[in-house]
Chain A
């Protein structure tokens, strides 16, 4: 029962049902929560823009994420094996995760203009740090006994990395990737606020200025769907590559 409710599809279905029934029942004012049919009508009225926006934001998020994840894992590997680099820079990385990097959005626009690249850059920046930190943690978590076993076989450093360190790190890296993809999405949306014509973030901002509550909800749901889709993709990768229970 809980499993069905916990799945995105199940949760969505239950919520939709509750929404459909409760809003008219409790006479909730449309300014707070419009009825489900009203939301659907509004969504359909802007369907082309909504679809285009969905795809555009998806593109920005995925590009930023892929760049951030690739660089993040690369840096993570470098830092894990060069202790001096790690000691100097890792604390900065960890602290930077608390910094309101999104505030830099304005400056990023100055640097990269009002382009796709600008949104990708923000998304990239937000993904990069958590993935790096998690990669380092994961690589460090190799079981020392298994390491000794490989050494006793005469394994080279590279072999120890590929056969033990990397697989051991995979579960932790995936956690970093999950975090990265949500941050990447948030970054793309906020990036769009600083200037864009197409995108979910753009439409969200517009609906705020026009004070259209229904539209706001449409976009919240659209963002939620996008988020669920991306998270689901990572979870799929997790089930395919990191399915084992740690020994």
Chain B
């Protein structure tokens, strides 16, 4: 159930649509329901953030959108208006998991071009395309370095570069800034919005940080505790480009209070279940 609604009645279909999507793991009687009846619609060019308590199934959701897991039979995922069968989504969405997952035997440059290589782009062309982005991502001069020589923040940026180079309409970012310290995270957030404004892709962004979710998003989707479903779809009408100072403004705090209340409710449910 979605409180609030996304844009309806427009001529162009939503870029990504989930209709009644659920996912069960395991076999009866020990099967677990990870996510339940997800109904989500994402329009082209939107920046949508997703927030929820631990274990609510956010990563399961992302795995389904990336095509790595099929949804249960009764739900459908539509991409560009077309329903996607099992595995059809593979290669259609640019997915960045929580860990940077760089390949230690490849240089930074070759890590960035990994997805392009898989696409079939010849090495030289792929490298040229990547090299053009290095200054923008703050990694100029590190092309021939290896991942173990880079800091955590830099490795995350390489992974982001890999994600952006894989030119797909939809980008999935799973807590990309989770492992960074607060200062680096603030810088990366502003920088990400900058890049998004320039490249104009559609972004679905998971986070556990409410400030981050509100600061970055056009919309914030709130997930319940397991089995996760969308309990709130909040439109963020703060002006763009987002000023860092907006975090302490009254409208921001108002939204935050609303979201906090729901999130605390849901988080307590997780804790209650965990206690013996």
Contact (A146, B101) CB under 8 Å given A154-B90, A247-B147:
yes
Query: Which of B22-30, B78-86, B112-120, B206-214 lines the interface with chain A?
Result: B112-120
Residue in A153, A170, A244 whose beta carbon sits within 8 Å of that of B119 in the complex: A153
Q: How far is the CA of A244 from the CA of B106 in the complex (A)?
A: 9
Provided the pairs A145-B97, A148-B97, A159-B118 are in contact, do residues A153 and B104 lie with their beta carbons within 8 angstroms?
Answer: no
CB distance from A138 to the nearest CB of B (A): 13
Closest to A160 in B: B118
Whether B90 contacts A152 by the Cβ 8 Å rule is yes
Q: Which residue of chain B lies nearest to A241 when distances are taken between CB atoms in the complex?
A: B105
Q: Closest residue to B98 on the A side, CB-wise?
A: A145
A245 proximal to B (CB < 8 A): yes
- In the complex, the answer to whether B166 meets A153 with C-beta atoms within 8 Å is yes
A244-B146, A244-B148, A245-B148 as given contacts; A152 in contact with B101, CB under 8 Å: no
Tell me the bound Cα distance from A149 to B105 in angstroms.
Answer: 16
Q: Are B103 and A154 within 8 A (Cβ)?
A: no
* Per-residue B-contact encoding for A159-189, CB less than 8 Å = 1, 0 else: 1000110010010000000000000000000
Contact A152:B146 (CB < 8 A) given known A146-B101, A164-B103: no
Q: Does B222 contact A (CB under 8 A)?
A: no
Q: Which residues of B contact A145 (CB under 8 A)?
A: 97, 99, 101
Contact partner, A246, options B92, B104, B114, Cβ 8 Å: B104
- Assess whether A78 is interfacial by the CB under 8 Å rule: no
| B101 contacts A149, C-beta separation under 8 Å | yes
- CA A140 to CA B103, docked complex, whole Å: 17
Q: Which residues of B contact A155 (CB under 8 A)?
A: 91, 118
A247 and B104 in contact, given A148-B97, A152-B95 (Cβ under 8 angstroms):
yes
* B115 neighbours in A (Cβ, 8 Å): 153
Contact B66 A152 (CB under 8 A): yes
Chain B at the A interface: mostly helix, strand, loop or mixed?
A: loop
Contact (Cβ within 8 A) A152 B103? no
Give the residues in chain B near A143, CB-CB below 8 Å. Answer: 101
Tell me, yes or no, whether A83 is within 8 Å of chain B by CB.
Answer: no
Cα distance A151–B63 in the bound complex, in angstroms: 11
The 0/1 profile, CB within 8 Å of A marked 1, for residues 63-78 of chain B is 1001110000000000
Q: Is the CB of B104 within 8 A of A148?
A: no
Q: Which of B68, B104, B117, B148 contacts A152 (CB 8 A)?
A: B68
What is the chain A residue whose CB lies nearest that of B87?
A151
Do B114 and A153 touch across chains, with their CB atoms under 8 A apart?
yes
Indicate whether B38 reaches chain A with its CB closer than 8 angstroms: no
Distance in angstroms between the alpha carbons of A152 and B65 in the assembled complex: 10
Asked if B34 is at the interface (CB within 8 A of a chain A CB), the reply is no
Taking CB atoms and an 8 Å cut-off, the chain B residues in 129-148 that contact chain A are: 146-148
A71 on the interface (CB 8 Å rule)? no
Residues in B whose Cβ lies below 8 Å from that of A167: 103, 105
The reply to whether A148 and B146 contact each other, CB–CB distance below 8 Å, is no
1/0 contact string of A205-244 vs chain B (CB within 8 Å): 0000000000000000000000000000000000000001
For residue A49, which residues in chain B have a CB less than 8 angstroms away from its CB? none
Chain B residues closer than 8 Å to A149, beta-carbon distance:
95, 97, 101
Question: In the complex, how many angstroms separate the beta carbon of A166 from the nearest chain B beta carbon?
Answer: 10
Contacts of B66 in A (CB 8 A): 152
Q: Which residues of chain B are within 8 angstroms of A151 by Cβ–Cβ distance?
A: 67-68, 90
A153–B90 Cα gap in the complex (Å)?
A: 6
Q: Which of A146, A153, A164, A245 contacts B91 (CB 8 A)?
A: A153
Contact A152 B105 (CB under 8 A): no
Contacts A244-B104, A245-B104, A247-B102 given; indicate if A150 touches B118 (C-beta within 8 A).
Answer: yes
A152 to B172, CA, bound (A): 11
Does B93 belong to the interface (CB within 8 Å)? yes
Q: Tell me the minimal C-beta distance from A129 to chain B in angstroms.
A: 27
Which residues of chain B are within 8 angstroms of A146 by Cβ–Cβ distance?
101, 103
User: 14 A-B residue contacts at CB 8 Å?
Assistant: A145-B97, A146-B101, A149-B95, A150-B118, A151-B90, A152-B93, A153-B91, A153-B115, A153-B166, A163-B103, A163-B117, A170-B105, A247-B101, A247-B103
With A153-B95, A245-B104 known, 11 other A-B pairs at CB within 8 A are A145-B101, A146-B101, A148-B63, A150-B114, A152-B67, A152-B68, A163-B118, A244-B105, A244-B148, A247-B101, A247-B103
